[in-house]
Structure formats: structure tokens, C-alpha cells
Amino acid sequence: MAQAVPYSMIYDYLVVGHGLAGAILASKLEMSGKTFRVFDVAKANAASRVAAGLINPVAGKRFAKSWRVDEFLPAAAAFYQTMEAHYQTPFFHQKPILKLFSTPEEQNNWMGKSTDASWQDYIETTHLQLPPSEDIYQELGGLLIQKGGYVALKDFLKCREQELFSKGLLQTEAFDVNQLELLPDGVRYGESEAKKIIFCEGAAGAENPYFHWLPFSLNKGEILDIKVPNFEASYIYNKAVYVVPLGQNHYRVGATYNWREVNEETTPQAREELTAKLQDIVRKPVQVTAQYVGIRPAVRDRKPLVGLHPELPQVAIFNGMGSKGVLMAPLLAEQFLAALEGKTALWPEVNIARYFSLYLASR
């Protein structure tokens, strides 16, 4: 007869992974009064820890609104503000983004879209020309985007880890999926039992035996930290790369996208690419102080992977946020937990049910 698990070790949920997705999901579990235990070994170069944490309502060169930004942005801002108040730590930095035009064609492209009323909440000003600056190449003008900013992810994750560890809710060990036991109405891992387990493993999710059939499209991103003496920017700058002010003349610049060599090695090629693009924005000499690399858990259709395993309702995934996790994860975590409790349905765009045919083909 199996030994009974102590009551204190029975949870509603086990959460595997405490990067951005896992940390936000665990926060939402805590806010909703659910019991949980997190398993994670922090990696210094995990994508969540090296990313700039950028929130940008405008996506890409084609001047498109970020997917569902009208819903994601208010939820993200409210979540990070709540976390800031809880920890008395400033890690949510709201800052306008100056999207600089690269060519007259870009100007024309934007002007053709600018009459759409849906932009009014996000575009503060359109500058078809800006005066010459000693610091920035801005003569072609650009868009001043409001409601943008960034989250200092390293600080946020550190706060969450310290609190969970102090409460005995964070187990700092590598999770061995082969030791997971599936029960008729839940799961057991070591001395912990739960109704469900949720995998939030980032790029490692592509190797998870329960979800390896999902179409991850991992890509490698490299960023630089730089110092620009005697320059304190008023904005986040964006033109081919972003330049995020970190204070005291320090900035974060990124990012590259590399689908061919998905490894955790920094490269001189990425450094050269980023510094070349940076020279199209910043006029002043810059000093590179650090270079980082992370693997993004992107997906072919650029939508997250959320939902229950097709045959194992006690096994779930919350992953695939790509480069938009800071914006999307707070609302998606809330919606996912409501779905797990039978209160709502997942958006079909993120529900892994859209890929069940791949699961059937993999069997």
C-alpha cells in the first residue's frame, strides 16, 4: 500500500519552471488562493533573465498593433503595478518609445495607416521631421508611442523567488520528468501530490515528452549592454533594434534572431550586427559592457501554447510566449486558470487543441 502523503504536501497545482511564464502563473495562483509548489533551477542566461522586458504596443516594420494589445496591456500594467506595490521595488518602467523612421518609404507607409482611429490610444505624436541632435540620428522623424516601457525581469524574478523560497513553495532542483507519476485524479512527484501539473519550461519545453509534438520554433537572441557617456535618453528608441535606457548612461540593445544556430554561445557576429544597427541610432561613442544570449520559446504561428494534454487532463502547459511574454503572460495566466477551474474557455488562438492533429500523427 502506498504511503500517504502528508496533507501539507498536497497541492492544487505543481508548476515546473520559474521564468517569466512560471513566475506570473504562480503569482496568479497565489492571488486566487490556490495551493501550489514550484520546481526550478535558475539559469543565469535563461531568456527571461537576459531579455529587456520590453512592452511595445506597435509591432514590426509594418506598423501593426501588437496582437490583442487592447486586452493585454491594461492587464499587464495592473499586474506589474500590483507586484511593485507588494515588493516596494520599482521594476515596471513606463517610458515612451520613439520609433524612428528609417526611410521616406516608412514615413509614407505609416501615413497611410495613421488615419485609423484604433491607433489613438497608442500614438502620441507623428514627427515627419525632427531637429538634428548631437545624440540621435532622428532627422527623418518617427512615431512617439505611448503606453510602452519595460519590466526589469531580473529584479521581478528575484523578488518572486525569494518570497516563494521563504514560504517553502519553491523547490530549487532540476525537475526529472521521468519521476513524475500520473494518478487517476492527479499527479505525484516525490512527496508532492497535486490535481494538475503545469509545465512552464520555456525553450526546454520542446524536449518535454508530454509536449514534444508541439511546433516550437526556438530561436536564439543576443543582446548587448552598453554605456554612452554624457547621454541620458528620454525615450526607448527603436529602429531595427531597440535601445532601452537603464539609467546612469547605461542601455540595453537588442535583439538578434537566429533560428539556425540555437545554442547558448555568444557570437562576435551578433555583436557586430547589433553595434552596426546601433550606429544608425546613436551618434555618440558607445562602450559595450556585456553581451548575453537566451533561447526564445517561440512557436511557428507566433501564438502561445496553453492548455491541457489531449489525453492526460492532469498535465498542462503554459509556454511559447516568444518575445511578447512580458505583455501577454499576465492576462493569459489569469484566463488559463479560469479555464482550468471551468469558468471560461481558452482563446482558440492559444489553445494547444489547434495542434492535436500533430499529437495524433506523433503516436
86, HSE (Cβ side, Cα atoms, 13 Å): 13
CATH 3.50.50.60 given to domain 7-49+154-216+301-362? yes
Query: How much of the chain, in percent, has pLDDT values that exceed 90?
Result: 82
Confidence of residue 17 (pLDDT cuts 50, 70, 90): very high
Helix (H) or strand (E) holding 241: strand 241-247
Distance of CA 329 to the CA centre of its chain: 7
Mean pLDDT of 302-319: 97
> Which superfamily does 96-147+219-296 belong to?
D-Amino Acid Oxidase, subunit A, domain 2 (3.30.9.10)
User: Residue 174 is placed in which grid cell?
Assistant: 532540476
Distance of CA 251 to the CA centre of its chain: 19
Comma-separated ranges of CATH 3.50.50.60 domains in the chain: 7-49+154-216+301-362
Confidence of residue 61 (pLDDT cuts 50, 70, 90): low
Terminal-residue alpha carbon distance, the chain: 33
CA torsion 299→210→186→7, rounded to 10°? -80
Instruction: Residue 253: name the closest of 288, 229, 218 by CA.
Output: 288
For residue 56, what pLDDT is reported? 93
pTM listed for this prediction: 0.93
Confidence of residue 4 (pLDDT cuts 50, 70, 90): very low
Residue 173 predicted with pLDDT over 70? yes
* Exposed/middle/buried for residue 262 (C-beta within 10 Å: 0-12, 13-18, 19+): middle
Q: For residue 362, how many other CB atoms are within 10 A of its CB?
A: 9
Mean pLDDT of the chain: 92
Comma-separated ranges of CATH 3.30.9.10 domains in the chain: 96-147+219-296
For residue 44, what pLDDT is reported? 64
Cβ-Cβ contacts under 8 Å for 289 (sequence gap 6 or more): 225, 226, 227, 250
Q: Characterize 18-38 residue by residue with b for buried, 16 or more Cβ atoms within 10 angstroms of its Cβ, and e for exposed.
A: bbbbbbbbbbbbbeeebebbb
Mean pLDDT of 91-95: 94
